[in-house]
Amino acid sequence: MSALNDQQPETGQQLGLLIDLDRCIGCHACTLVCQEEHGDPQGVQRMKVPTIGSGHHDIPAGVYPDVWMYFQPRMCQHCINPPCIESCPFEAIEKRDDGVVEIIDEDCTGCNLCPPACPYGVIAINSNDMLVAICDMCSTRLDEGLQPACEDACPGDAIFFGDINGSDSVINAQKRKLPKQAYVLSGGGNKDDQPTSRYQSQKAQHQADTSILAVDG
Amino acid sequence: MEWAEAQFRTPSGRLEFYAEECADLGDALPIYRERPRDLYALAGEQLPLSLVSYHSKFLPSATLNEVATFRDLIPGPYVTVNPLDAESRDIGEDDIVEIYNGLGSVILHARLSEGMRPGTIAVMQGWRRSSFIEGGMQELVSGNVTNPAHLKMKPLTGADPNAPLHDVWVDIRKVNT
């Protein structure tokens, strides 16, 4: 097992998010700005911010007074080999050349086969049209040369956006800056998905919940 | 400039952390006083649990309680109870419970957490009466001021003392549905 920092950059662009869990205060600004950006109805969360600890909102794990918790923004992991794409009979999910996975609304029938295929539980159902909704890295903003809305809105500067394969990208600069282990979400043992979102944390290092975070590399 | 001429109505005219007038009470500087349990007693019986309410990221008081997008993010209301306090009362996760004292009661769901201090239970602040199954948090709080330092300073400063929002003694029981 090696840290991500030691890996050689691969060829090809793969846009992704790096989230510094030590900077996340669990405010859900990302959740709400994401709803707003996509015009989603209330209740549809492409970006979730679960409390890691007891599993309950804002309730820590541990025994008083030795308690701990942290927050872990969760969204589409933009896998290298997305299992959702395989699960879709209508070819309504595509992986763009820049690595972003997105739903093609015109082709989605709302058959609901993809949510259970996602090992990370981040495919939401839009209660208005019953089509599926995922983080698309704000692809319409990207096409306009903007950053994803969550990266813009995060008051803790916990979210970094860039090409995970680009040695000069914001993400790799941030990884070099912080001597912290990088993690990927653990998708229940299926290594073939290769989720691309990266998480960094000192806390997770001390209190690693191996069912949630796997050391990257 | 607003308030340029304003003065604190303390004997010194300044903000007083040290109040000479309260020295005879042993309270010239703030001290801890055991909270008066009798105020909350039920049928003469003092109650064992301390009730506190804590701030949430989403609800500054009840101001944003009815903002639908926030309500989406906040489960509850619920009372957090240490399993040590819950077991002896046969209270399980998500059970409906009544928090009560001699003044009133509130009915809501329970959540168990070993992170909660035993002997203390906590409800996130910012709910409205309509948020609960029955009753309300305010029913449990006494408006009586018992702190002798507060009582002594009131005629001197004209200032109304704070309500003792965290000086609340209660017990909790399972509601059979």
Structure tokens at A107: 């082709």
A residues 12-31 closer than 8 Å to B (CB): 25-28, 31
Cis omega before residue A116 (within 30°)? no
Strand pairing report for B49-54 and B120-124: parallel
**Does A60 contact B at CB distance below 8 Å?**
yes
pLDDT, residue B3, reads 85
Which residues 6+ apart lie within 8 Å of A88 measured at CB?
A113, A114
Residue B103 lies in domain? 36-144+161-174
Say how far apart CA A135 and CA B47 lie, in whole Å.
51
Residues A54-100 have pLDDT tens digits of 878 888 889 999 998 889 999 999 999 999 999 999 999 999 999 99
For residue B74, list chain A residues with Cβ-Cβ distance below 8 A. 57
Does B5 reside within a domain? no
Does B17 reside within a domain? no
Residues A86-135 have pLDDT tens digits of 999 999 999 999 999 999 999 999 999 999 999 999 999 998 889 999 99
Residues B22-81 have pLDDT tens digits of 999 998 998 888 778 898 999 999 999 999 998 888 887 888 888 888 888 888 899 999
Does B71 reside within a domain? yes
Does B61 reside within a domain? yes
For residue B80, list chain A residues with Cβ-Cβ distance below 8 A. 59
Does B80 reside within a domain? yes
**Does A57 contact B at CB distance below 8 Å?**
yes
Does B152 reside within a domain? no
Strand pairing report for B96-100 and B105-112: antiparallel
For residue A42, list chain B residues with Cβ-Cβ distance below 8 A. 68-69, 72
Rounded to 10 degrees, what is the CA torsion of B76, B80, B85, B89?
0
DSSP string, A165-186: T-TTSHHHHHHHHS---EEEE-
User: Which CATH number belongs to the domain containing residue B81 in this structure?
Assistant: 2.40.40.20
User: Is A59 within 8 Å of B114 when comparing Cβ atoms?
Assistant: no
pLDDT, residue A5, reads 41
The CATH code of domain A4-215 reads 3.30.70.20
**Does A32 contact B at CB distance below 8 Å?**
yes
